[in-house]
Structure 1
Amino acid sequence: MALWLLNYQAWEFEPGLFLKDVAPRPGNPFGSAAAAGIVLLTSEEEARVLSHPFHKVPLITSVSADRKLYGEEAAKRRGAPVPAEGVRRGIMHMRNAPASVYWFRLEINGKIVGHKIGWAFDWRQRLRQFNSIALSTLGGLRYRQHSIQDFNTAREAYNVEQGLLKAFDHLRHSSNREVITGIKVKQIEEVWHVHITSVMLGSRLQ
């Protein structure tokens, strides 16, 4: 019987965490002992480690693990290259730069199969990135611009994007939570207009 372990979450510590500070043991037993197996921390050492700032990070999974969890077809989709939405924590120094919320239609042979809602500093570049990966010229998926709303800051754009996605939470695709399916264009237009108008009016009144 084969046993396998699967990680579900991962964290990253902020810079400045050093072994010599959290586990100052005489002779440093970690070097040689770690070669033979796992060296356990004492409760005091564990407390020092957990007191250091850390944050959750995306967990990279293997195709084989995804296959066990989600099935063959889902594993292929999850393992395939996808347009990068950007690591938001890596660009937050630009949170005050202008950005846009976009709504792209997903089409196959002219038929709408879904809708992509997101935010970007350059929505035109994002659209090109999506279509370059989708290989629409070979009969694959094509992303088409439907509506764009510009905002003064990336923070505003991000908050609006999250609000829109939350409004359609029950329709978000399991393989990509920024894609919604099973809804008519007119229904999205109504929510889009009401939500963005209220946000823009609210920001102007502040």
Structure 2
Amino acid sequence: MTLFITKVWGFGTPVGPLQFSLSGWRENARKKLRPGDQVALVGTVGEETPPEMRGRILGVMAPTTEPVMSLDFVKPRGTSDFVDGEYKWPYALMNLQAWSLPDRPLLTQISDRKFSMDSAQGIVELTPEEERRLRAFRWQEEPLLQPTAQTQQRMAKKHGTSKKVAPPPTTQRTGIMHMRRAPAHTYAMRIVGAKELAFKIGWAFDFNQRADQFNHASMPSLGGLEYLPVWHHLWDTARLAYQMEQRLLTHFARHRNTSNHEIVTGVSKEQLDAAWKTCFLLNQQGHKG
């Protein structure tokens, strides 16, 4: 196990991935890191770091060599985190574990050497004596920042693992609250075979499974209606998926079917596309706000 350091602008919880400004610095770190290695985070002495964190060892990460994008996890603090519209540290490595150092010792308490630019852009290995001094301070484990639902799904596909999005059914209040926080889709499906162009709008933990349920009931193979997804988006929580559904249904209030208010008629595909894009942006902005 090796302990490295890197310079950062701050440390907060829950703890996100290990971030880099350039893909090259991330690749350098990937070449150095081995399973079990750790990286200590040291606050820079510049104005960008809060005064109480400057020059201090703030925490420790246990990163992997799994490359990810920072914005799949972190929420930028403001315009200072961007240059010409681009996030300053877009490249990252997945993190397995994190600790804060409640005493926040000064870097000078564990080392008397001057660290070069490598420590600001990448990771630098500590000597055995520096590591011994650092490990003598208190470490407190902290929760990790979870990736977005889209990132979890992408990584599951990359590694060939199945991802069960929908939580198990429950009638307990705690279970219901958990379901609201679980990832879910908003969807719009075209109803093929209807007398006029019609779309079913809704939300579900698994939109493909929902389409299969509709088609099983309508039996398109025997001449019934067929439900074909035309739009879908995976949100981080079921609450957001529901809010997006309601925005769409409100938008098409005059076109909702009297027998099923989640079906809209008299709407063209182009109108649906435009409404979806508008409601999607509003839902995103509402979530960030």
Deviating runs (4+, > 4 A) in structure 1? 86-91
| Alpha-carbon offset, residue 88 of structure 1 | 10
Counterpart in the other structure of 1:70: none
- Give the AA of the match of 1:96: R
8 Å Cα contact 1:103-1:146 kept in structure 2 = yes
Partner of 1:178: 262
- What is the rounded CA distance, in whole Å, between the counterparts of 2:225 and 2:257 in structure 1? 15
User: TM-score if structure 1 supplies the norm length?
Assistant: 0.53
Structure 1 residue 202: Cα displacement: 3.4
Pairing 1:25-104 to 2, within 5 Å after superposition: 92-93=176-177, 94-104=179-189
Distance 1:167 1:88 in 2: 32
For residues 35-88 of structure 1, the C-alpha deviation after alignment (integer angstroms, 9 at most, x for no partner) is xxxxxxxxxxxxxxxxxxxxxxxxxxxxxxxxxxxxxxxxxxxxxxxxxxx999
What is residue 284 of structure 2 aligned with on the other side? 200
From 98, 108, 114, the counterpart of 2:193: 108
Change (3 A) 1:200 1:89: farther
Instruction: Assess, with a 3 A threshold, how the Cα gap between structure 1 residues 177 and 118 changes in structure 2: closer, same or farther.
Output: same
Question: Can you give the 5+ residue segments of structure 2 that lack an aligned partner in the other structure?
Answer: 1-168
Distance 2:209 2:255 in 1: 26
Structure ranking higher in helix proportion: 1
Name the amino acid aligned to 2:246. Q
Q: CA deviation at 1:112?
A: 6.0
1:143 maps onto 2:190 in alignment: no
The superposition leaves residues 97-138 of structure 1 with CA deviations (integer Å, 9 ceiling, x where unpaired) of 0001001000118x8631000000111110100000011001
Shift of 1:160: 1.1
CA contact (8 A) 1:99 1:119 kept: yes
For 1:183, give the aligned amino acid. Answer: V
Q: Does the 8 A contact of 1:105 with 1:112 survive in 2?
A: no
Corresponding residue for residue 246 of structure 2:
162
* Residue 198 of structure 1, CA deviation: 2.3
SS of the equivalent of 2:212 reads helix
Residue 188 of structure 1 is matched in structure 2 by: 272
1:134 aligns with 2:218: yes
TM normalised by structure 2 equals 0.38
Q: 2:188 touches 2:231 (CA, 8 Å); kept in 1?
A: yes
For the residue of structure 1 that corresponds to 2:233, the secondary structure is strand
Residue number in structure 2 paired with 1:39: none
Q: Output the CA distance in 1 between the equivalents of 2:264 and 2:172.
A: 24
Question: How many pairs are equivalent?
Answer: 119
Partner of 1:43: none
Is the CA contact 2:184–2:205 (under 8 Å) kept in the aligned structure 1? yes
1: distance between equivalents of 2:196 and 2:231?
Answer: 15
1:97 aligned partner, one-letter code: A
Give, in whole Å, the separation in 1 of the partners of 2:171 and 2:197.
27
SS in 1 for 2:262: strand
- The 1:185/1:137 distance shift into structure 2, 3 A limit, reads same
- After TM superposition, give the deviation of residue 188 of structure 1 in Å: 1.0
Which structure is larger by alpha-carbon Rg, 1 or 2? Answer: 2
Q: 1:45 is matched with which residue?
A: none
The Cα offsets for residues 134-191 of structure 1, whole Å up to 9 and x where unpaired, read as 1100111000010101100001111111111011010000110000001100011101
